[in-house]
Amino acid sequence: MKFSPNVPKPYVLLLPLVGMGLFILLYVLAALKYPGGSWMMPQQNGFSFWNNYLCDLLDQNAINGELNTARYLARTSLTVLCLSLFLIWYNLPSLFKGENFNISIMWLSGMAALITTAFLSSGTHDNTVRIAGFFAVIAFLTCFLELFKAGYLKLFIFGAVCLIIFLFNYYIYETGQFIRLLPIIQKITFVCFIIWFIVLDILLYQNLKWKTTAGDV
């Protein structure tokens, strides 16, 4: 069964770059509007880079009990990010030659992970994280295999480092070990993956542009 989409026009792959930039901007604005409170310091004022989780901005109420006026910006930014990454992953098979079972698994698991992540603000946070994380690990491992086979070794290595950080993040989340470090590690994980996705998107854009110039698309 074929899961690879039709090859898009190269300019389509510029949209995720705009989307990821907009995600960062909206999340910063949401953090500035956050009323206050973290699990370490429930009565703190505003958003703490050191103590708050990114998902705190998505909740109906802030941890200090006040109505979370930042939630609309945060939820909008999450939606924009998911749509941006969805567009990258949807077109990712175009980066690789031919089709195989591994690429189909990569494509489907990536789609499933992103669709699940979009429900983070639905009140089922823990289950959403676990389900999205399960699909994401499959998606990344299969993607790394294709990157390695295609000779994109630097992106493969950087992606593997990102995945290790992600798994460490998940280990802390599930076990409670080093829990005080989790807000910082979570942000490091996000930054690393955003950089990885930006590089992946640029690579995909350049690859499609080259094919277009060469008359292959």
For residue 111, the model assigns a pLDDT of: 96
Residue 68 included in any domain: yes
pTM, full prediction: 0.91
> What values do phi and psi take at 38, rounded to 5?
-140, 170
Residue 174 to residues 40, 88, 139, 148, Cα–Cα distance (Å):
17, 29, 21, 30
Residues 6+ apart with CB under 8 A from 117: 78, 82, 128, 132
Asked if residue 57 is part of any domain, the answer here is yes
Give the model's pLDDT for residue 190. Answer: 94
Domain count, the chain: 1
Question: What is the spatial distance between Cα 41 and Cα 44, in angstroms, rounded to a whole number?
Answer: 6
Q: Is 3 inside any structural domain?
A: no
- With tokens 């698994």, the residue in question is 105
In-domain check, residue 22: yes
Q: Determine, yes or no, domain membership for 216.
A: no
Q: Where are the alpha helices (DSSP H) in 151-181?
A: 153-175
pLDDT digits (tens, 9 = 90+) for 43-56: 999 999 999 999 99
The answer as to whether 39 is a domain residue is: yes
Predicted confidence (pLDDT) per residue in 144-157, tens digit: 999 999 999 999 99
What confidence tens digit (pLDDT) does each residue in 48-90 have? 999 999 999 999 999 999 999 999 999 999 999 999 999 999 9
CA dist 217 and 210 (Å) reads 9
Token couple for 111: 């789609």
